[in-house]
Structure 1
Amino acid sequence: MKYYLILISSLFIPQMLWAMADTKTEEQYIILMMPRSKNINEANFMQVMNNFQGPPQARVKVGLAFIFSYLRNDVNELSDSLKSILLNSEKTNTPVWIKFDGEQWWQNRPDLWNWWDPNKPGYDPNNRTNVEWRWWGPEYALKICWRNWGKQLRVLPPTNLMSPKYRKACHQSMDVLMPIILNWYKTLPEDKKYLFAGLNLGWESAIGINSFYYPNGDQFMDKPKSEDPQSGAIKEDVLSRGVVQQGFAAVKTAGIRDSGDITEEDLYKVVKIHLDDLSKYAYDFGFPREKIFTHGWGNQNAELMYDAAVNKYSCPGWSDYWYSKNPAENAGIMRNVEKSDAPYWAMAEWNLLPHEKKIWKDAISTILNLPGCKVMCVYGWKGKADKKQVIEAIHELVVESATPFKEEINNKSKVLE
C-alpha cells in the first residue's frame, strides 16, 4: 500500500504517527448494515439517508449494506431484491455495499446438508461429505451446532468449506448475482461510480467459532432448546474454541492431512483457500480488485486466522469488536494491513457501546485515519436508528470531511518528506 505519512498532532491520540491514504483514496465510506427486503424502495433509503445529508464534496460518504445469503434464500428472489437495491441506490445517490454469504446460513440447500433424515427434503447420506466432522471420517459428520450473536441459537451443521459440491453451489449462486452488480456498475456515469462501495465476500470466515459443537451435541436435537448447554465457544482457544474440535472434513478434503491432531496452520490454510477462491471467482468475472473485499475473523490475541483474509485478488477486511475504539491496537489486523499489497482494506464488521456522540465520533475518526482504510461497516444499524447521538456523530464527520484535502493536511498535519 502507498501512503503519505502524516503526523497529526490535533487528533485525540496525541503525538501518534498516522498514515493517510493518498489523494486516490480520499473517498471513504461509513456503511450502515440494513435488513434486506425484496420490497425495499426509495422511501426506505431516504428514511435513513436524510439523517446524513452533507455537501457534495464530502470525502466521507454514508451508505447502506445488504446481505445476500445465497444458500439461505431462493436466488431468483435475491436477484429481484438486488436489482431494486441498485436502482434505489442510483435514485437516491446512496453508496451500497453488497455482501455475499454462503457460510453462516444455508437452510435452503438441504440437498447439501441433510444426510440424516430421510423424511425431510434433500436427504442423501452422501451429504456427510458437505458438512464438518468431529474426527477424520464421514461417520463423524455433524448434525447440529450453536452460534452466539448476542444470544445462543441452534444452527445447521457448518459447511465443509472444501467440499466440491459446496463450492460449486457458491459459484452457481454468484453466477446469478454478480452480473447484476457488474452490469449496473459499468453503466454508472463516472461521477456516480462511487455508489458501488464494494462486494464483500465471506462472513467472519473461520472454523468452529460461529458454528460450534458441544460434546455429545446430537443428544440435544430432540430436546427443548432450554436444555441446551450455555457455556458457548472460547475464542482464545484457536483450535477447538473450547468445545469439540472441527475442521477435519475441510482439512482432509483439501489434502492437507488425514490423521493426527489438527493444527492452527491447518485451519488457517483451509479458510485461506476458501476466501482465495471466492475472491478469484469475482475477480475473474470482471470485478476490479479495489471493489472486492474479504471478511475475515480473529481473536483479540492476533491469531493466525487473521491472515486468511489477505490474497492477491481482493482487499482484506475483518470484524473488530475487541479494539472498537482503536483498531490500531489490533495486532492481527495491523500485521496484515502492513503485509498486504492491496490498495485498501475494510473494517468489515464493527460496533461500539455506549451510544455516545464523542465516543463514536472519536472511534470512527480513528478508524478512517488508519492506513488505507476505505470502508467501515456498522452492523445492527436497525437497532441504532433512534440513537440521536450516533447519528449526530456520523453526520458531523461527513460535513467536516468536505474540507479540501490539501487544506486539511495543512491544518492538521505536516507531510514527512
Structure 2
Amino acid sequence: MRARWGISLLTLVVALTAIPTAADRQYILVNRVPGRVWNQNRPETFTEESFMELHRRCPESGSGNVRFGAGFIFSFLNGEPYVVAESLRRFLAGAQQTDTPVIVQFDAENWWGHRSDLWNFWDPSRPGYDPQNRYNVEWTSWSPDDAVKICWRNWGRQIRVLPQPNLMSPDYLAACREGLARLVPIVMEWYHALPADKKDLFVGIKVGHESSIGVNAWHYPDGNRLLDVPRAEDPTYGLDHSRRPSRGVAAIGYAAVKTAGIRTSGELTEADVTEVVRRYVTILCRTAAEAGVPRDRLFTHGAGWHEGEWLYDAAGNAYSCPGWSFYRHAADPRGDIGVQRNLKRTEAPYWAAVEWLLPGTRDEAAWREALAATLSDPKCRCLCIYNWEGIQDSTSILSAIAATLATASTP
C-alpha cells in the first residue's frame, strides 16, 4: 500500500489548484450513443450541427443555475490513438462553438478491441497473439490455465464481448495510463484556452465506466467452449446479483486479486473484488490528477446492482469526486443506501449521477420530480441522461428537461 503522506500531499496540491467555478452551478447532460451520430473513429462526425440539434430540442433560459450540455464516451483502447485524439479535439471545439457544457468520458474497460496485443492469448491466426496475454484477462480460478476467452454483456440485450480485463495487469494498466496521459492534456489545454466567461463549459472528466468485474463482462460456466459455436447456443439466464462475487455465473476476479497480491488461494470474496476495482479506479484518477485535472473536475463511474453492495465503495478516492449509475433510484437518489453510505464519508467537493435514466415512464411530471430530486443536493454536480437517442423524440421528457432548466435559479 502506498504511504498515506503521498495521498495527503497530492490531495493538498489538487485542492490548492482547483479550477475556479461558480459554486452553485449544476448540469443536466445527455450522453450520445457512440457510433450513432458521434463516432470516435470518424472525427468528421463531431460537427457544430450535431451540437446545435441538442440545443434546439432543449433550449436554455439563460437565467438559471442549471445548464444543459452533453457527454460522450471515448473508448481509447478501441481505436487508433491519433484518430481518437482528433475526435476529442473536434468534440471540444464543437462544444466551444455552440456554448455547450461537456463531460469527457474515458473508458478502457468495456471496449478494448483495438488492443488484441493485450487480450489475444488463444488464436495464432489473429493479430496480437501471445500466450502471455492470458495474464491480461480474467480467470475462473487461481490458475492462468483458466483464462477466459469470451464474456457476455447485457445493456438491453445479451451480446458476446471480449474477455474481462485483468484490472491489475501491469501491461493493461500501462495501456490505461498511456491513453489518459495522451488524451487528458488535450482537454486541459482546451480548458485553459477558454475565455473566462466560458470556463463553465468544462463540466469535468470521467474515468472508468461502471467499473466492476464480472458484470458488464461476465463469463458463463465452461464458457470458453462456446467461443466457436453459434450464438444461438449461448445460455441466456444472465446474472443474479444477490450471489456475489459470482453473480450466479462463473466467478471471475481471480487474476486481478492474485496480481494485486491480495490472495493466491482459497475462496474469492466480494471484498477481494471490490478492493481491486477500488485500486484500479484510484490508479486512473491519480493518472488524470497528475496530468492536471483538479479534484472538482474529476469524476469516477461506480455502480451497484444489489442494494447496498460493497462495490459502491470503489468509486471513492482522494483524487476525484465519486459518481454512480442511477436507474433503480433515479427517482430519488436519497433512497440509494450504497450511494448515501459513501456520501456521508467522502471529503470530495461534489458527486455526480454520471449515468442516469428514469426507467418505465415518460410522464412529464414524473421526470420533473426525478430531475429535481437528483439535483436537490447542491453537491450533485451533474446528472447525465443515458441516452440522448432514447429520449430525443419524447416531447414529455424534453419538456421536463426544459422546465427544469427554466425554473432552476441561483439562490
Give the TM-score, by structure 1 length: 0.90
Given that 1:328 and 1:370 are in contact with CA atoms closer than 8 Å, whether structure 2 keeps it comes out as no
Partners of 1:72 and 1:308 lie apart in 2 by 24
Alpha-carbon separation, structure 2, partners of 1:125 and 1:143: 12
Partner of 1:29: 27
8 Å Cα contact 1:111-1:123 kept in structure 2: yes
* 1:343 counterpart residue number: 349
Query: Which amino acid is the alignment partner of residue 329 of structure 1?
Result: G
Query: What do residues 304-352 of structure 1 show as CA deviations (whole Å, max 9, x unaligned)?
Result: 1101100010000001212121111000001111110000001111112
Counting only pairs closer than 5 Å after superposition, residues 10-409 of structure 1 correspond to structure 2 as 24-35=22-33, 36-37=38-39, 38-39=43-44, 40-352=46-358, 353-370=360-377, 372-401=379-408, 403-405=409-411
Which has the higher Rg, Structure 1 or Structure 2?
A: 1
Quick one: which amino acid aligns to residue 26 of structure 2? Q
- For 1:24 and 1:190, locate their aligned partners in 2 and report how far apart those are by CA, in whole Å: 12
Gaps in structure 1 of 5+ consecutive residues = 1-22, 406-417
SS of 2:205's partner is strand
Q: Distance in 2 between matches of 1:228 and 1:355?
A: 33
**Equivalents in 1 of 2:49, 2:305: separation in Å?**
39
> Offset of 1:24 from its aligned partner?
4.9
Secondary structure, in 3 states, of the residue corresponding to 1:105? coil
1:371-417 CA deviation, whole Å, 9 max, x = no partner?
5111111012112111111111000111111x341xxxxxxxxxxxx
Output the amino acid matched with 2:336.
N
1:172-202 CA distance string (max 9 Å, x none) = 1112211110000111122111101110011
Indicate if the aligned counterparts of 1:300 and 1:322 stay in contact, CA closer than 8 A: no
Question: Counterpart of 2:215 in structure 1: which amino acid?
Answer: I
CA distance in 2, matches of 1:371, 1:305: 25
Q: Which amino acid aligns with 1:25?
A: A
CA distance in 2, matches of 1:219, 1:165: 27
Aligned amino acid, residue 28 of structure 2: I
Aligned partners of 1:27 and 1:374 also within 8 Å: yes
Tell me, yes or no, if the aligned pair for 2:148 and 2:163 is still in contact at 8 Å: yes
2:67 match: secondary structure: strand
- CA contact 2:60–2:68 (8 Å) conserved in 1: no
Q: Taking structure 2 as the reference length, what is the TM-score of the superposition? A: 0.91
Q: How many residues align?
A: 382
Distance in 2, matches of 1:24 and 1:222, equals: 55
- List, as ranges, runs of 4+ consecutive aligned residues in structure 1 with deviation greater than 6 Å: none
Q: Per-residue deviation at 1:52?
A: 2.3
Q: Is the 8 A contact 1:279 1:314 kept in 2?
A: yes
Supply the distance in 1 between the matched residues of 2:238 and 2:58 (Cα, whole angstroms): 38
Q: In structure 2, the residue corresponding to 1:222 is in which secondary structure?
A: coil
Using the TM superposition, give the Cα deviation of residue 56 of structure 1 relative to its aligned residue in structure 2, in angstroms: 2.4
Give the residue type in structure 1 aligned to 2:384.
C
Structure holding more strand per residue: 1
Structure 1 pair 238–190 and aligned structure 2 pair: CA distance change class (3 A): farther
